Chains A and B, each alone.
Chain A
Amino acid sequence: MNDSRPDPQALLRQAAQEGRGRLKIFLGAAPGVGKTFEMLSEGKARAKEGVDVVIGVVETHGRIETEALTRGLEIMPRRAVAYEGRTLHEMDIDGVLARRPRLALVDELAHTNAPGSRHPKRHQDVAELLAAGIDVYSTVNIQHVESLNDIVAGITRVRVRETVPDSVLEAAEIEVVDIPPDELIERLKAGKVYLPQEATRALQHFFSKSNLSALRELALTRAAQAVDAQMLEHVRALGVGGTWAGAERIVVAISELAGADGLVRAGKRVADGLRGPWTALFIETPRVAGFTDAQHARIAATMTLATQLGAAVATVPAPSVVDGIKVFLHDARATQLILGKSRRSRWFELRHGSVVDRLVRETPGVTVHVLPNDEATSRPDRARPRRGEWGTRTGHAATTAMIAGVTALAIALSQVLNLGNVGMLYLLPVMAAASLFGLRTGLMAGLLSSLAYNFFFLPPTGTFTISNPENVVSVFVLLGVAFVTSHLAARVRAQADLASQSARTNAALTGFLRELAELADDASVRRAICVEVGRILRVHTVLLAAGPTGLAVQTTDGNDHRLGTLDLAAAQWAFDHSATTGRGSGTLTASDWAFHPLAHGRTVLAVFGIARDGTADPIRADQLPLLTNLLDQAAMVLERLRLEGEMRDVETMRTRDRLRGALLSSVGHDLRTPLTAVKAAASELRHGVTPQLIGTIEQEANRLDRFVANLLDMARIEAGALSLAIEPVDLADAVTGAAHDARTALTGHAIRLDVPPDLPLVRCDPHLLHHCLLNLLDNAGRYGDAGTEIRVAGTHRHGALQLSVIDRGPGLPPGQEDLVFDTFRRFDGSDRAATGTGLGLAIVKAFAEAMGIAVEARNRDDGERGAAFSLRFPADAIIRDPIVEGQV
């Protein structure tokens, strides 16, 4: 494992550090060592060097020396927070962010913010300042360091609730502020150490010499460790060295019991000591189904703590704890296992075998650390007995009835059966009771059966005495069968429960995916995400997305959810930082909603909000994996839609560019030709007015008019601005109108309209239809041979209604009929007629298709030369029988 390539993870972490502010922590063994003083002194020194320093928050506790030091430094005003009738003054993080100093001094890193603040903990505020590129000096006492929490409590018998995750220290430069214990005690006696009034007594015990010495040692060790860790990180990033053995992998097996936090902290220390990666492992046995919400919550909390301390977390389903741990240890090639041992009775261990013993025996090559777990024993914390474990009335009644029935049957058959067979008969109710109603009822059945067997059949009958010792065996057999059967049945039931639970989860996921896969547009996908997740997890949901006015609710699960300012702030935070916020998270917890970012890579696509009625956390701990899964899938679907949309936009733009190019090249020609003719004719007029000249001017002006109209139409099609005004249209009217307006273009042709007056009305946009016909007539006039007839025919046969424009001329190149509708397509071969832009037929196609009308171009099939263009109306556009008596 001694390769010297740079570790990509470490490089990434270093890269992430660049552009961030640096954190320096003044670490003390106990209150009163002078951390704040030291921090202020250094801050002041930096300010003298010309660095822009502000005080974010500093507690001087009224000490004159300390207060004197704050003079000359800019102090940010604090933010007043009203809480339960008191006014608390917290650091104004937005103020500091807005002020953007180079260095901010923030006292008491472990401080807990007033409820309703953005973050529950001050160290999270500091993390935000660092992320914004602001350097921070801060102070902390050793007892507030998360992984040392237990040890400190062990030494001092005072448990500190406010803790700082180790990861914060690991990323920081640490300066130990140290004074000898004697001196500190002196200072305490001189009243130079600030202590909260109410805690004075307890804390005075804290300040014994032995305690202080131990704490001091801890602080120095921790600081040394941090230096080590930073050194190591640096070495790994550069890929030099190879001191990283990578051989040790630590697994901490956690349980639902109360002491699991201690295990995790121990795991952290072992991992730090051995410099190995570590994992917090929870084995999900069938028992999990019977856990209380409190137990689920405790597991989730333990897992969260492990993550904060830098562990990977894993949940592995397995039939038993030992099996699960064994498999995981093997797969993860773990070398160290840490687990807790609860105080169980010897009887319990005799029955179940000790988990620890079995693991030690069955996992060779793994060092097993066993920590006593003082805080809990397995039994009292167990889930309340499930219904049926102690038996139900029905179970008892049914069992008694069965045994009575079997006894009656056996008495009836006593002539035929020997004593042994009668005993066998009693197995039936015992097995039935044990498998149907559980262990207790089964045992009761065994007892009752043996009593009945004894009383009615074993000599001397009618008494409970047993004369033949052999028969004692039968009684115990009955009891044993009850025991074994009920155990087997219970296990099968539990496995089935587990299986059906995971089947439900899988079904929910599959159903969700199928639902989403069927939807193609963004809006309905978003709605489906809200509705489905809400349905699966039984919660209220909203989806927020960035809109023109910022992040706003875009979709809900169908109910009208209004988000307050605080909720929106939490959602905004989730969006900006790709982090979970709101209730049950670490940020802006006063919101009623929990917000989860829907992210793909680094892009947050949307924010998903969840709430539950009442004050419960929106998501139970055991639902979290499912929620994460659902949201991951949802994010993937949203990302897919976004990409598809982008592709479409690119494609549309490309087409538009191509058309624009073609258009520009043809416009010059097509505008100039008629203009030239008009100009020439106008100058001819000076020499005398002839009807011929006037005709030319009118004709060319009309051509220009049509060309401009087509350009405008094309622009409307391309802009996607075609809006339909559908109304019932009489085709005879439409054709007559078009022929009238196209008359100048048709000069020199005979025109024949074969449109029966009794054709059904059709629903379409009269204007668009008019332009279609106009362009088809124009096209026929242009490409039809001079002097030939142009025919417009309307037919209604077998329910199919169509209009055709038929010319006589060269027709279309065979095999390329459909190409005629491409924009700017003009067929070569007849230069004479090449005066159009080629826009006309493309417009016909676009307009017709917008109305659902099919367009077809083909050569005439009646033996004549020429082309026929048809508009075929869809069946649902044909108005079959509009006449209502009395209305016409």
Chain B
Amino acid sequence: MAQILIVDDEPAIRRLLRQALERAGHGVAEAADARAALAAFERQRPDAVLLDLGLPGRDGLELVPVIARERSIALLVVSARETTDDKVAALDLGADDYITKPFDSEELLARLRVALRRYDTDAQMVVEAEDVTIDLSRHMVCRMGAEIHLTRKEFAVLAMLAEHPGRVVTHKQILARVWGGYDPKIEYLRIVIRNLRQKLESPAPIGSLIGNELGIGYRLRIKS
């Protein structure tokens, strides 16, 4: 289906990933370090890159902006580094998603599907998630067919998540776009998310529509 480049210095991890990806019908290329990764990236123009950060000799984080510059290539960071700083840095540098090792290969495939879909169709105007329909062009949100009233900020936040369905949007990105100005407060965002959940999730458990990424941001959950 799609051409995927795996960048990881651990042969065992590469083998596992290759197995899972090939089972899902993708073509796979491998690279064990940053230089090989860049060469393979130039030569094969893959559709997506799975990038490990802990590469020998060079920090994988340096590759993130290089790969992300190619707007049509999906970039997923797969790393054992689990501090929020690293995740936020990778996402802010343009990575599409971040998966922490050890990972569940089913989840990895699901995230990859989401990331790839974005590059199939440019910004969809109508997004469906769970039982909610978000119409970006008409500024309308419906739940089970009934229109739900949202405040302007609530809609702006939801719209931003809907523009990147299934992907993490960082606090910084949301705050900058929705509130802007000097030092916007993350409290506002928390309250807006809480209100959105009240209106769009309840009585389903918290996080069933809008997933919380610890210390990083939010993600709109969509059926994959």
Q: Which residues of A contact B (CB under 8 A)?
A: 701, 705, 709, 725, 727-730, 732-733, 736-737, 740, 753, 757, 761, 765-767, 770, 879, 882-884, 887-888
Tell me if A757 and B191 are in contact (CB < 8 A).
Answer: no
Nearest residue (CB) in B for A708 is B102
Given contacts A736-B206, A767-B84, A887-B153, A730 and B193 within 8 Å (CB-CB): yes
Query: CA–CA, A888 to B185, complex, Å?
Result: 11
Across the interface, A730 reaches (CB within 8 A) one of B84, B190, B202, namely B190
Say whether B207 faces chain A, with CB atoms less than 8 Å apart.
Answer: yes
Tell me if B214 and A725 are in contact (CB < 8 A).
Answer: no
Q: In the complex, what residues of B have CB within 8 A of residue A725's CB? A: 84-85, 215
Nearest residue (CB) in B for A741 is B214
Say whether B9 faces chain A, with CB atoms less than 8 Å apart.
Answer: no
Across the interface, B188 reaches (CB within 8 A) one of A736, A757, A884, namely A884
**B182-211 to A contact mask, C-beta < 8 Å, 1/0:** 000111101111110110001001110000
Tell me if B188 and A730 are in contact (CB < 8 A).
Answer: no
Chain B min CB distance to A504 (Å)? 51
Say whether B3 faces chain A, with CB atoms less than 8 Å apart.
Answer: no
Given contacts A705-B102, A767-B84, A888-B153, A736 and B187 within 8 Å (CB-CB): no
Nearest residue (CB) in A for B192 is A888
Chain A min CB distance to B146 (Å)? 21
Across the interface, A882 reaches (CB within 8 A) one of B102, B171, B185, namely B185
Tell me if A888 and B215 are in contact (CB < 8 A).
Answer: no
Chain B min CB distance to A769 (Å)? 9
Query: CA–CA, A757 to B84, complex, Å?
Result: 25
Chain A min CB distance to B198 (Å)? 6
Tell me if B190 and A761 are in contact (CB < 8 A).
Answer: yes
Say whether B212 faces chain A, with CB atoms less than 8 Å apart.
Answer: yes
What are 20 A-B pairs with beta-carbon distances under 8 A? A725-B84, A727-B171, A728-B187, A728-B190, A729-B190, A733-B193, A733-B212, A736-B207, A737-B212, A761-B191, A765-B215, A767-B215, A770-B214, A879-B187, A882-B187, A882-B190, A882-B191, A887-B179, A888-B188, A888-B195
Q: In the complex, what residues of B have CB within 8 A of residue A882's CB? A: 185, 187-188, 190-191
Query: CA–CA, A701 to B103, complex, Å?
Result: 11
Chain B min CB distance to A312 (Å)? 65
Tell me if B206 and A761 are in contact (CB < 8 A).
Answer: no
| Residue among A729, A736, A740, A887 with the highest chain B CB neighbour number at 10 A | A887
Tell me if B212 and A736 are in contact (CB < 8 A).
Answer: yes
Closest 3 A/B residue pairs (Cβ): A882-B187, A733-B212, A736-B206
In the complex, given contacts A727-B171, A736-B212, what are 9 additional A-B residue pairs having Cβ atoms less than 8 angstroms apart?
Answer: A725-B84, A728-B185, A729-B190, A733-B206, A736-B205, A766-B84, A770-B214, A887-B153, A888-B151
Tell me if B191 and A888 are in contact (CB < 8 A).
Answer: yes
Q: In the complex, what residues of A have CB within 8 A of residue B179's CB? A: 887
Chain A min CB distance to B80 (Å)? 10
Nearest residue (CB) in A for B191 is A888
Given contacts A701-B102, A733-B207, A736-B205, A761 and B214 within 8 Å (CB-CB): no
Query: CA–CA, A761 to B83, complex, Å?
Result: 23
Query: CA–CA, A701 to B16, complex, Å?
Result: 16
Nearest residue (CB) in A for B208 is A736
Chain A min CB distance to B1 (Å)? 26
Nearest residue (CB) in B for A881 is B187
Tell me if B153 and A757 are in contact (CB < 8 A).
Answer: no
Given contacts A725-B84, A728-B186, A757-B197, A888 and B154 within 8 Å (CB-CB): yes
Chain B min CB distance to A887 (Å)? 5
**B76-87 to A contact mask, C-beta < 8 Å, 1/0:** 000000111100
Interface class of chain B by DSSP: helix
Q: Which residues of B contact A (CB under 8 A)?
A: 82-85, 102, 151, 153-154, 171, 179, 185-188, 190-195, 197-198, 202, 205-207, 212, 214-215
Tell me if B206 and A757 are in contact (CB < 8 A).
Answer: yes
Query: CA–CA, A887 to B151, complex, Å?
Result: 10
Query: CA–CA, A701 to B194, complex, Å?
Result: 34
Nearest residue (CB) in A for B85 is A725
Q: In the complex, what residues of A have CB within 8 A of residue B206's CB? A: 732-733, 736, 757
Query: CA–CA, A884 to B186, complex, Å?
Result: 12
Tell me if A740 and B102 are in contact (CB < 8 A).
Answer: no
Q: In the complex, what residues of A have CB within 8 A of residue B205's CB? A: 736, 753
Q: In the complex, what residues of B have CB within 8 A of residue A767's CB? A: 83-84, 214-215
Nearest residue (CB) in A for B157 is A888
| Residue among B153, B191, B192 with the highest chain A CB neighbour number at 10 A | B191
Chain A min CB distance to B165 (Å)? 20
Q: In the complex, what residues of A have CB within 8 A of residue B212's CB? A: 730, 733, 736-737
Q: In the complex, what residues of A have CB within 8 A of residue B187's CB? A: 728, 761, 879, 882
Q: In the complex, what residues of A have CB within 8 A of residue B171's CB? A: 727
Q: In the complex, what residues of B have CB within 8 A of residue A879's CB? A: 187
Tell me if A730 and B186 are in contact (CB < 8 A).
Answer: no
Nearest residue (CB) in A for B84 is A767
Q: In the complex, what residues of B have CB within 8 A of residue A709's CB? A: 82
Tell me if B186 and A727 are in contact (CB < 8 A).
Answer: yes
Q: In the complex, what residues of B have CB within 8 A of residue A761's CB? A: 187, 190-191
Query: CA–CA, A615 to B212, complex, Å?
Result: 69
Q: In the complex, what residues of B have CB within 8 A of residue A705's CB? A: 102
Query: CA–CA, A770 to B214, complex, Å?
Result: 8
Chain A min CB distance to B85 (Å)? 8
Nearest residue (CB) in B for A882 is B187
Chain B min CB distance to A766 (Å)? 5
Query: CA–CA, A709 to B81, complex, Å?
Result: 11
Chain B min CB distance to A879 (Å)? 6
| Residue among B84, B151, B215 with the highest chain A CB neighbour number at 10 A | B215
Q: In the complex, what residues of A have CB within 8 A of residue B194's CB? A: 730, 732, 757
Q: In the complex, what residues of B have CB within 8 A of residue A727's CB? A: 171, 186, 215
Q: In the complex, what residues of A have CB within 8 A of residue B191's CB? A: 761, 882-883, 888
Query: CA–CA, A725 to B191, complex, Å?
Result: 20
Query: CA–CA, A761 to B212, complex, Å?
Result: 15
Nearest residue (CB) in A for B188 is A887
